[in-house]
Each structure stands twice: as structure tokens, then as C-alpha cells.
Chain A
Amino acid sequence: MARMNMIQAINSALDVLMDRDPDIVVMGEDVGYFGGVFRATAGLQAKYGKTRVFDTPISELGIIGVAVGMGAYGLRPVPEIQFADYIYPGLDQLVSEAARLRYRSAGEFTAPITVRSPFGGGIFGGQTHSQSPEGIFTHVAGLKTVVPSTPYDAKGLLIAAIEDNDPVIFFEPKRIYNGPFSGHYDRPAKNWSQHPDGEVPEDYYRIELGKARVVRPGADLTILAYGTMVHVAAGVIEEQGIDAELIDLRTLLPLDIETIEASVKKTGRCLVIHEATRTSGFGAELSALVQERCFYHLEAPVERVTGYDTPYPHSLEWAYFPGPVRIGEAIKKIMKD
């Protein structure tokens, strides 16, 4: 086992897989010689050569479009979109093309691509470096969406995503690249070296897509979260000393509904947390599913703590961020009923 932060774990996943499978290619803006603006692809070009790890023109449309074409040839491309906020020019290629290729060709052509992209806020990135657009992708038939919350998961999930024969959107919560974040922005930053999930095997391992992780078992309340918000929720549970069951979804689509259902039926209460905007967000889907499947077990309405329905503000970032205060208030509200 080695100590890794999330960037190193992602790098390790790419390294391990590229070594095993010569059909894997990595491409994106600044990913080659420089190794990516977050260093996730550092060293890979030197090791695997310029035709397997290369910089691209600044064209998200082009990056995803050529990845689809490479996939049609038989390669397994792992394109990087530098920030999730920049993914929109590539939407047509993802939504109309990659997502439907298997369907429209009756399985003759597929798009075994994994689009990696840092997402989420908490880094004073303003409205163009902070967004959480996962709900746009979970809404598209034919795309899988994955969000890791620890270095260990990031590596195992990325390996499973790349090996998956369908297109996967792999959103990396950049706020926790270097360490877990409790949401208390005014406290000293932690790094992964003190966290058990910063222990990452150097070799190959997979974490199957579609399997959630029970971060902490509990009896009184189920909290559903993913990415950065898993750690914020964990912090609140600890501070409040409540017996909540915290579930890290890890894969939004396909969703591990069994784990969710079993938990909510046990606890009778459910809180959904995400950083993305609220309306038509993934929390709405979660809330509907829990209501449909666990209605007669619920002791209180399902609550959502999310980003507000505004663009991500710069100066009021911490008022926007669904932090410990808002989660704490929501928990009080659910537990009151």
C-alpha cells in the first residue's frame, strides 16, 4: 500500500491500466508534457509516448468527438476536460453521439470512453471553475456518471470506468484532490496522508460501478451524498454525535438503489446532499426514488441540502456552499418529525 492523494491515485489508475492495455489513450488540454493543470497525468507521456498521451487543441467538441471516433476504431480513450465548466461545447458529441452509439447501431459501434473532469467548488473558482453539472449527464440515456470521494475509490472506480464498454463521465471533486474537506473553510486544510482512504494499493484493483459505500452505519437517519459532500456530511455527523448512516453513492448512474432502499427502510429518514443546484438536480431523482420505494417506512419528508439555484458566486462562495450549518439545520428538521 502507498499513501496517495486523489490526484496521485488517478494518475496511478491511468498508469496501471495503460501498462496493461495498449489501446488506452489519454488526451486533453495540457495533459501531455505538462501533465495536466492539476497534474493528474504527470509523467504518463514520458512513460507511454506522445501517441498515447497527448495535448489537444482547445476544443471540447473536438476532444470528445475524436474520442468517439477512436472508440469506434477500437481504442479506449480517456479524454480529460480541464474543468467540468468547460464541458458544454462537447455536449452534442456526448449526448447525441457517445450516449446513443450502441443503441443506434444495435451494438455494432460503441463508445468505450471515460471523460475525466474536475468539478465542484470550494476553491474560489467563480462561476467558470466551480460547477457541478452531473445532473445534466444522469439525465441522458446511455451515459454512466461516477463521482469518487477518496483516493482509494478514485483509483478503483476509474479503472472500472475505463474498462467499462459504455461511455462514462468521471467527475473528480477537485476540492478534495489534496485532502478531505469538512466544509469548515476557516479551519486548517487536511491532507490525505492522515486519512485511512489515502492508503491506495499500487497495483490493479477495481471498484465495480453501481456499488455504493456505507461510510458509516447508523440507525436514525440515512444521508445520501457523493464527492466532497461525503466529507462535509461525515463532519456534521461527528460534530452532532448523531447515529446517521452515511452512504457515499460513488456511482450516480447506474445507482445502487438496493443499498439506499435497505438503509432508508431501516432508519425511516433520509437527507440528500449535493453541491449542484437544486431544481432538477440529482437530489430530485434520489428523493423521488426514496419516496416511491420507502414511502411507508418514512417518518419525515425526504430533505435536500443543495447549492442554491443561482450561478456559483465568487465572493459569497461559502454562503453558497452547502456547508455544515445548512446540513445541521436540515438534520434538526428531519429529526424533529
Chain B
Amino acid sequence: MSTRPNLPPLRLHVPEPKFRPGDEADFGDVPIPAAGATPRPAVDSAPAAFHDLAYGLVRVLDEKGRAVGPWDPKLSPDTLRGILRAMAKTRAFDERMYRAQRQGKTSFYMKCTGEEAIACAQAYALHRDDMCFPSYRQQGLLIARDWPLVDMMNQIYSNKGDRLAGKQLPIMYSTREGSFFSISGNLATQLPQAVGWAMASAIKGDTRIAATWCGEGSTAEGDFHSACTFASVYRAPVIICVVNNQWAISSFSGFAGAEATTFAARAIGYGIAGLRVDGNDALAVYAATEWAAERARTNQGPTLIEFFTYRAEGHSTSDDPSAYRSAQEREKWPLGDPISRLKQHLIALGEWDEERHAAMDLEVANEVKAAQKDAEKNGILGHGMHQPMSTMFQDVFETMPWHLEEQRQEMLAEAKAAGIETS
């Protein structure tokens, strides 16, 4: 240790969130620019022209539910109702599956409550065959793409109908047909993969682009930084989405660098376009995604979008947020709820009303309920063997090497000797 009397002792800064359990939450100091105030540059502008956007906030819906400013995507009422319904269905799905986990029907679940606009509006802005490399909170992509709920639930229950044969943790969906890459439980690994997929698409002269998602916490992983470097170097046709929902389990966004800068601003150092967007504003989400997709489709390169939002529920069914954050945060969040805001907009347009909204909520709830009933016909986790034991050895390799075949035979023989059912 060296302590020179003419120099101050060094101090370590450890970030601390503003509110802890029992605190009054007050987000008054979170800068929220007015809806419509952020300029919308042409998609072929150089990334350096976007610096300010990385520190601002693209917003379309104002407090009265009007769509204002250059980012208004001017969507048809049918499209708006489609996004609204996808969000409502996602929320109903989450409620139902969360409850199923609590009832012991599966081991794990993760809700995306409060963040529905991100995946749902983005699904509408992307093409159906654009390849998505999601994290674990973009179930809205599948739901907005009308992927069968029963199929998702089969996966959650690891049951007979599970296309992943019970091999993956619940909600780690995978569907090539749905242009939805196999979700990993490891963080940010999908980002360089999405860049690679986009590079391949460019190598082959394809027209499909890639999009990928991670949380703000995961931007600390090396994968995020490698992904940005490769995306920049090869001008990969990819959209890198950082869902800044303020919390990574118990660690607030300050532990990923939010005290010092924005996540969109990460783009600047890599020389790629960066946008910071109100993640609870379905129109802003749509518009930003559409803009980034157009850049990618016209060989202008990658875009990094930070969606500023709030994780209204726990990280997962294994988490209890009341232990580390103020219970008031959810209601005090200054950007409101994405479903309420789009609903307000549609009502303001004269294209929606409370009765239709209530009817829609009932419809999606019934749809989810019916899907659950169907899925449970295929079984629930821990009640009966839904996959023959020997399926455990399938798909380790394309063809089974001798040692796995031997282990498989051994397992079956031992189970038989012990009188255990194997299928």
C-alpha cells in the first residue's frame, strides 16, 4: 500500500439503485422527452448522424394517446388492433402459465409483463421469415406470429407434445418454422449468433434479415461486445435489441453501466446506428424496428436499439422482487403500461372502446384457457413419463456413437431389472 500525503485516497464507486423496499418511488428525474420531439433521420444517413438519438428517447404516443411526430408509423386500425390483441394474449398467456407453475404443473416460468410492446409490435414490423434470436422474454414474438399456444404450452410442460422432447427448460422455445432460434439459458450468446446468421444471409444474397434481443444486464457479457464489433465490421443486416427493463434479477441497470451512459450509446463506439426508444409505446417500438429493418434490408448496416421499459414482475418464478426493490416502482413507472397506452390511442382514434376491449380480454383469456386444456391432455411435468427414457440419447449427435448406444442399452437393462417403466 502506498499513501502519499499529497494525494487523496482512491475510492471505489459501487452503484446503488434509487429505491429499495419500503422507499417511495419517484421517477421525476428520469428524462422523458415529449412524444414526437425526436427527429427521424433518413435510413441511409451515416451512423455519426444518429449520436443524439442514442441519448434521447423515440416516442410517438403522447399523454392523450395521440400519435405525434416524425416517428408515427401511421398504421392501419386493423394493424393497431392486431398488435393490441397480441399484447393482451401474451399477458393472458403469462398469467395462466405463471399460475400453472405455482400449481406445480411445471418447474419454471418467466413473464414479460410490461414489456409486451417490444416483442409484439416488433413482430409486426419484421417480416414473418426474418430470423429472430430472442432471449427468454420475447414470447410475444411467437404469439404475435400466431404460433399455436398449445405448442408453446407443450414445451412448458415438457409433455408428450413437446417438440423439444422435454429436453429444454420451460419457455426455452425453438422453432425453425417460426423463424425463432432455440433460446439459450446462457446470457447474450444469441447476439453474435444473430450477427453470424445475418452475415450468412448477406453472403448468400438472401433478403431476410436477423434480429436479436438481450436484457440491459446482459450487455456486460463479452458476447454483446463481440456481436457489435462483428456487426459493425461486416455491416451485418441485423437489429440488436437491448431490452432495458431496469432490473437483472436483483441488480439494477447501474450494474450494467446505466449510471454513466445509455445502452443505445454503446452503438456509437462501434460506429453503428443507435436508437433509444420508449419500450412501452407500441408505435415507437414498431417505428424504430421498421426503420432499423429498412436500414438492414438496404445494406446500410446494423442498428442497436435500446428499448427503455420496466420489468413489472419478478425475473422468473424463482424470484421475489419485493426483497430488493420498492413495490411502488411498477405503478410509478413514468412510461405507463404498453397495453393501456395502445388501447387509449385506439379509443382516441374512435377505433376501439371499453366494451370491445373487455370482450377481447375475455376472448384471449378463453383462447389461452382452451389451449391449456388441450396441452394438459399431453401431460404435465412430473406426472408420468412423457418421453421414453431412451430419447435422452437422441440428438446428442446426428448418429449415435458406440459409447452412447452402450449407455442407452445399459440404462434400459438396469431399468428393466429394477422393474422401472421405460416408456
The answer to whether A315 and B185 touch across the interface, beta carbons within 8 angstroms, is no
B48 CB within 8 Å of chain A: no
A240 CB within 8 Å of chain B: no
A30 to B316, CA, bound (A): 14
A329 to B44, CA, bound (A): 68
The answer to whether A127 and B168 touch across the interface, beta carbons within 8 angstroms, is yes
B348 CB within 8 Å of chain A: no
> For chain B residues 213-250, which have a beta carbon within 8 Å of chain A?
217-218, 220-223, 248-250
* Closest Cβ neighbor of B162 among chain A residues: A315
Contacts A57-B257, A315-B387 known; A33 to B250 CB distance under 8 Å? yes
Note all chain A residues with C-beta closer than 8 A to B391.
Answer: 316
Name the distance in Å between B94's Cβ and chain A's nearest Cβ.
19
Name the distance in Å between A258's Cβ and chain B's nearest Cβ.
32
Note all chain B residues with C-beta closer than 8 A to A314.
Answer: 107, 158, 166-170, 381
A266 CB within 8 Å of chain B: no
B14 CB within 8 Å of chain A: yes
The answer to whether A57 and B217 touch across the interface, beta carbons within 8 angstroms, is yes
Name the distance in Å between B128's Cβ and chain A's nearest Cβ.
29
Identify which of B185, B248, B418 contacts A126 (C-beta below 8 A).
Answer: B185
B411 CB within 8 Å of chain A: yes
A124 CB within 8 Å of chain B: yes
Interface centre among B166, B250, B257 (most CB of A within 10 A): B250
Name the distance in Å between A217's Cβ and chain B's nearest Cβ.
28
Note all chain B residues with C-beta closer than 8 A to A50.
Answer: 14, 16
Indicate with 1 or 0, residue by residue over B166-200, a CB within 8 angstroms of chain A CB atoms: 11111010000000000011110000000000000
The answer to whether A58 and B12 touch across the interface, beta carbons within 8 angstroms, is no
Identify which of A278, A311, A315 contacts B407 (C-beta below 8 A).
Answer: A278
Note all chain A residues with C-beta closer than 8 A to B386.
Answer: 315
Note all chain A residues with C-beta closer than 8 A to B185.
Answer: 85, 126-129
The answer to whether B389 and A37 touch across the interface, beta carbons within 8 angstroms, is no
* Closest Cβ neighbor of A123 among chain B residues: B107
The answer to whether A51 and B14 touch across the interface, beta carbons within 8 angstroms, is yes
A313 to B158, CA, bound (A): 10
A212 to B251, CA, bound (A): 38
Contacts A315-B386, A316-B392 known; A57 to B256 CB distance under 8 Å? yes
Identify which of A129, A310, A319 contacts B169 (C-beta below 8 A).
Answer: A129
Tell me how many residue pairs across A and B have CB atoms closer than 8 Å.
143
Note all chain B residues with C-beta closer than 8 A to A33.
Answer: 20, 250, 324
Note all chain A residues with C-beta closer than 8 A to B167.
Answer: 127, 311, 313-315
Name the distance in Å between B242's Cβ and chain A's nearest Cβ.
13
The answer to whether A62 and B415 touch across the interface, beta carbons within 8 angstroms, is no
Note all chain B residues with C-beta closer than 8 A to A203.
Answer: none
> For chain B residues 303-330, which have a beta carbon within 8 Å of chain A?
318-319, 323-324
B393 CB within 8 Å of chain A: yes
Indicate with 1 or 0, residue by residue over A50-75, a CB within 8 angstroms of chain B CB atoms: 11001111111110000000000000
The answer to whether B255 and A316 touch across the interface, beta carbons within 8 angstroms, is no
Name the distance in Å between B391's Cβ and chain A's nearest Cβ.
7
Identify which of A57, A86, A313 contacts B255 (C-beta below 8 A).
Answer: A57
Identify which of B221, B411, B420 contacts A308 (C-beta below 8 A).
Answer: B411
The answer to whether A58 and B220 touch across the interface, beta carbons within 8 angstroms, is yes
Interface residues on B, range: 35 or more
A143 to B84, CA, bound (A): 54
The answer to whether B250 and A89 touch across the interface, beta carbons within 8 angstroms, is no
Note all chain A residues with C-beta closer than 8 A to B169.
Answer: 125-129, 314
Indicate with 1 or 0, residue by residue over A131-170, a CB within 8 angstroms of chain B CB atoms: 0000000000000000000000000000000000000000
Indicate with 1 or 0, residue by residue over A286-318, a CB within 8 angstroms of chain B CB atoms: 000000000000000000000011110111100
B359 CB within 8 Å of chain A: no
B7 CB within 8 Å of chain A: no
A141 to B286, CA, bound (A): 52
A325 CB within 8 Å of chain B: yes
Identify which of A34, A58, A125 contacts B323 (C-beta below 8 A).
Answer: A34
Identify which of B221, B393, B407, B414 contacts A58 (C-beta below 8 A).
Answer: B221
The answer to whether A29 and B249 touch across the interface, beta carbons within 8 angstroms, is yes
Indicate with 1 or 0, residue by residue over A98-140, a CB within 8 angstroms of chain B CB atoms: 0000000000000000000000000011111100000000000
A226 CB within 8 Å of chain B: no
Indicate with 1 or 0, residue by residue over B388-423, a CB within 8 angstroms of chain A CB atoms: 010111001000000110010001001101101000
* Closest Cβ neighbor of A73 among chain B residues: B1
A184 CB within 8 Å of chain B: no
Name the distance in Å between B100's Cβ and chain A's nearest Cβ.
14
Note all chain A residues with C-beta closer than 8 A to B319.
Answer: 37
Note all chain B residues with C-beta closer than 8 A to A282.
Answer: none
B270 CB within 8 Å of chain A: no
The answer to whether B107 and A124 touch across the interface, beta carbons within 8 angstroms, is yes
Name the distance in Å between A85's Cβ and chain B's nearest Cβ.
7
Name the distance in Å between A266's Cβ and chain B's nearest Cβ.
28
Interface centre among A55, A129, A311 (most CB of B within 10 A): A55
A320 CB within 8 Å of chain B: yes
> For chain A residues 179-224, which have a beta carbon within 8 Å of chain B?
none
Contacts A37-B318, A309-B407 known; A55 to B392 CB distance under 8 Å? no
**Apart from A125-B107, A328-B418, 19 more pairs, CB < 8 Å:** A29-B248, A33-B20, A37-B249, A57-B255, A58-B221, A58-B251, A61-B221, A126-B169, A127-B169, A309-B396, A309-B404, A310-B396, A311-B167, A313-B166, A315-B158, A315-B159, A315-B167, A316-B387, A316-B389
Report 10 cross-chain contacts, Cβ distance below 8 Å, ordered by A residue: A32-B14, A61-B221, A127-B168, A128-B186, A279-B403, A311-B396, A314-B166, A315-B158, A316-B389, A325-B415
Residues of B bordering A, CB below 8 Å: 12, 14-16, 20, 107-108, 158-159, 162, 165-170, 172, 184-187, 217-218, 220-223, 248-251, 255-257, 318-319, 323-324, 381-382, 385-387, 389, 391-393, 396, 403-404, 407, 411, 414-415, 417-418, 420
Residues of A bordering B, CB below 8 Å: 29-30, 32-34, 37, 50-51, 54-62, 85-86, 88-89, 124-129, 278-279, 308-311, 313-316, 319-320, 325-326, 328-329
